Structure 1
């Protein structure tokens, strides 16, 4: 008789683990509280426009390839990838922007033009970033975070100083141009932390950026979700939507014995949660929770976000598929997220126009706009504040790109702290999980295996290896391997 496993949630990490567990011969059932699969990577459609609700950057294509290869498949079996050129554009002020090319030689030339001698320093920096990337992918990120000894390999020992310096120190050692500094420091925001609080080792994200490029799945990031669901279904995984898990039931020996789903008890002896880790523990009796409220409150969380999904009745000019607006004080905005949480004084923001490269995103002659402003988790969230910041973002966008767009808005939908809490049970409404700072790396993150409840496991952005879509795929694999090992 096949073993059974029930998985809570259907985001990237949950779908990844579902595939691996099914491959190992388990009967897998996935419970998703919302009416569509994908977790934070769901899709929103309106009036011929299509938006990814969450992740919009496709970096580290090798991780996706490795995932599908584990099942004898390729990404191209499920979706078509286009490499973006430019990868993205960064605005520093009116009529002041730089486009980051899709090849290294052009990037070196751009740096050299902006700051004489900087191309040489960039090459040295990227050599380090590439070595760190290879170390991370081969030696670190596929480890389960059980022991500090996981970090001790011949390659990590040789690079130990990288853990005790910061990305900011490394970037600013030789690069002086404020524009180039911002381009090199911004990718660590994907790790949920400030450049001055992120170990230099994590510069591997710069290699992912410049060395591996920025890609777009035709039809949107949701095509990846659809591909994973298709793979999982072919392996026998069952999916139930509108299935809200209300309680994890345990027996007298503190073993998982069931789940309460929509008021109905489902018997099970093995549960893996891809839902928010903090929320999942609230489904247990208080004495069976590994981590206290005080523990969670002291942790450094990645930002939340104010998001807008906007339909425009015309094509947008002077912007790229991915466009970053860094014309204000980077450090001030970061401080208002991490140090003194408040709505930002003068926010940086990001805009994404998939319809510039993907005709499926919007009707002909129109544009689908996705706007994101990083925000401190857990702060006040009102419709009035959202509207105020929408106007701020649109005013800045018009000024910097030299065009009028506010009168061309057909519709807009917002998504913010309250929505992250309600839709995803996200702790304090965070968008990306727990930041990857030194004291929240590897074995110092919340554990995959519960130490108090037998046969309860966790996967996703609050455990190893951390925030982001590629780490989520990896987290699903790690959790599955640990379950398999413990069941032998």
Structure 2
């Protein structure tokens, strides 16, 4: 039977859920508080430059293919994908960098040149990582986190030790060179936890990196949002922006309506793709499933300080994606997770989409995105932002052996306060809940409200977890749950 489904937010998970729910024959409406759709994946356009405000890495192309295939479509029906070659570059010092190729055989050669014997070790490690990927991404993550029994399969039973070991120990047993260790530990940062707190099973991220490669959708990650919007509209979804949700109304234990810009919108089912903590704050306290103490005790993935910079010249000695690991990885990780504070010397990441995509910047100019991972909940001031930009741009000049400060046309920034203001993000987190052992699958906040009937949640604070591919999957899972429970 057709239902009137109202969705809060228009990020990846909300748009995915909207598409699936509309395909099932429901009347679906999406309400977005901001002026443009996309949630954290919005775009900044300025003086001929175009920046992805949020995600810039396109990994796990098979998940995107699977999403569009569910609607008899392909990503290529909506956007052009470019495989990055090389995938990315990692700087460890002046003229000291490692370039990661777009294929495993070349990466194996690179490892072997740095540490004798590591090439074979890498082949074995990635073979195991691929096995984990096949189990996790093709099966486990497509389960709704309702029961611990979802994790118990013939395949996972063979790998039970990998749920109790950790990535950091595994890598250090196989590799001794510090550079190689950091390169292999880097992908789990997308999961939002220290490698020492991330279960071994999550090595599947290394297969996503070395086995499947790094891609760029032409015109940026926002192309995927626009593709999903087009698909949703084709399926009959209505989308409204500038629609601030003020309250979720509950009658007799059932979600009945949203108050949007002062207007009451009646609905059969309410689904929130907004920040989970914020979504529950729209309920009267007695209807909330999770307390403030619950959220405060959770391990959150980092926030970020981001800079969007227009340069009046082409930047040299960098790739589309470049990581700067010239300072102590463990100290910065500790400043995020163990003793939250602004890092004295931060690692940082830089993306130059105009290296690949001429539409990102005017001819002869360069678009640069710089990101520093930070603990959520930190003090955020304009002064601090300025101090940290100066820190990283000075190091950037030194490491890449070029002068760039005088070539800056403009600089915009985005940090903790903006994550809170624009996305109602808990403590200004950027990536949701970390994927630690005690925050995996059925141990994450539920897709279906435990206290209110016909109220559901999707996105990075629920199942399956942080990242763009998991967000697409989250939308599919919750839409299936809605159909099953109706």
| Cα deviations by residue, 1:148-170 (Å, 9 ceiling, x for unpaired) | 00000000001111101000011
**Contact 1:139–1:153 (Cα < 8 Å) also in 2:** no
**Contact 2:312–2:364 (Cα < 8 Å) also in 1:** yes
Give the structure 2 partner of residue 161 of structure 1.
161
Give the structure 2 partner of residue 486 of structure 1.
485
SS in 2 for 1:471: helix
| Cα deviations by residue, 1:97-155 (Å, 9 ceiling, x for unpaired) | 01100011100000000000000110111011000000002331000001000000000
1:357 maps onto 2:346 in alignment: no
Give the structure 2 partner of residue 197 of structure 1.
197
The CA distance in 2 between the partners of 1:406 and 1:468, in whole Å, is 32
Give the structure 2 partner of residue 407 of structure 1.
406
1:64 maps onto 2:64 in alignment: yes
The CA distance in 2 between the partners of 1:180 and 1:362, in whole Å, is 33
Residue 77 of structure 1 deviates from its aligned partner by 0.2
Residue 254 of structure 1 deviates from its aligned partner by 1.1
| Cα deviations by residue, 1:236-276 (Å, 9 ceiling, x for unpaired) | 0000000001100011x110111000011111121000000
**Contact 1:133–1:204 (Cα < 8 Å) also in 2:** yes
Give the structure 2 partner of residue 7 of structure 1.
7
The CA distance in 1 between the partners of 2:131 and 2:151, in whole Å, is 15
1:245 maps onto 2:262 in alignment: no
Give the structure 1 partner of residue 342 of structure 2.
343
SS in 2 for 1:5: strand
Q: CA RMSD in A?
A: 0.6
Q: Is 265-274 or 21-30 further displaced after alignment?
A: 265-274
Give the structure 2 partner of residue 450 of structure 1.
449
Give the structure 2 partner of residue 133 of structure 1.
133
Give the structure 2 partner of residue 440 of structure 1.
439
Aligned residues: 486
**Contact 2:15–2:475 (Cα < 8 Å) also in 1:** yes
SS in 2 for 1:396: helix
The CA distance in 1 between the partners of 2:166 and 2:57, in whole Å, is 24
1:102 maps onto 2:114 in alignment: no
The CA distance in 2 between the partners of 1:7 and 1:159, in whole Å, is 38
The CA distance in 2 between the partners of 1:209 and 1:38, in whole Å, is 25
**Contact 1:436–1:466 (Cα < 8 Å) also in 2:** yes
SS in 2 for 1:138: coil
SS in 1 for 2:207: helix
1:386 maps onto 2:385 in alignment: yes
Give the structure 1 partner of residue 187 of structure 2.
187
Residue 3 of structure 1 deviates from its aligned partner by 1.5
| Cα deviations by residue, 1:278-308 (Å, 9 ceiling, x for unpaired) | 0000000001000000000000000000000
- The equivalences for 1:39-118 within 5 A come to 39-118=39-118
Give the structure 1 partner of residue 253 of structure 2.
254
Residue 478 of structure 1 deviates from its aligned partner by 0.3
| Cα deviations by residue, 1:386-415 (Å, 9 ceiling, x for unpaired) | 000000010000000000001110001000
The CA distance in 2 between the partners of 1:274 and 1:425, in whole Å, is 11
**Contact 2:312–2:408 (Cα < 8 Å) also in 1:** yes
Give the structure 2 partner of residue 206 of structure 1.
206
Residue 182 of structure 1 deviates from its aligned partner by 0.6
Task: Using structure 2 for the length normalisation, give the TM-score.
Answer: 1.00
Residue 432 of structure 1 deviates from its aligned partner by 0.2
Give the structure 2 partner of residue 289 of structure 1.
288
The CA distance in 2 between the partners of 1:228 and 1:342, in whole Å, is 37
The CA distance in 2 between the partners of 1:268 and 1:475, in whole Å, is 21
The CA distance in 2 between the partners of 1:444 and 1:3, in whole Å, is 29
The CA distance in 2 between the partners of 1:464 and 1:152, in whole Å, is 17
Task: Using structure 1 for the length normalisation, give the TM-score.
Answer: 0.99
**Contact 1:22–1:28 (Cα < 8 Å) also in 2:** yes
Give the structure 2 partner of residue 329 of structure 1.
328
The CA distance in 1 between the partners of 2:256 and 2:85, in whole Å, is 52
Unmatched runs of 5 consecutive residues or more in structure 1: none
The CA distance in 2 between the partners of 1:441 and 1:263, in whole Å, is 37
Give the structure 2 partner of residue 397 of structure 1.
396
**Contact 1:4–1:269 (Cα < 8 Å) also in 2:** yes
| Cα deviations by residue, 1:51-106 (Å, 9 ceiling, x for unpaired) | 00000000000000000000000000000000000000000011100110001110
Residue 2 of structure 1 deviates from its aligned partner by 3.4
The CA distance in 2 between the partners of 1:386 and 1:177, in whole Å, is 34
Give the structure 2 partner of residue 459 of structure 1.
458
The CA distance in 1 between the partners of 2:376 and 2:461, in whole Å, is 14
**Contact 2:3–2:268 (Cα < 8 Å) also in 1:** no
Give the structure 2 partner of residue 371 of structure 1.
370
Give the structure 2 partner of residue 124 of structure 1.
124
SS in 1 for 2:174: coil
**Contact 1:129–1:203 (Cα < 8 Å) also in 2:** yes
**Contact 1:255–1:269 (Cα < 8 Å) also in 2:** no
| Cα deviations by residue, 1:162-216 (Å, 9 ceiling, x for unpaired) | 1010000111102011110010000000000000000000000000000000000
The CA distance in 1 between the partners of 2:100 and 2:116, in whole Å, is 17
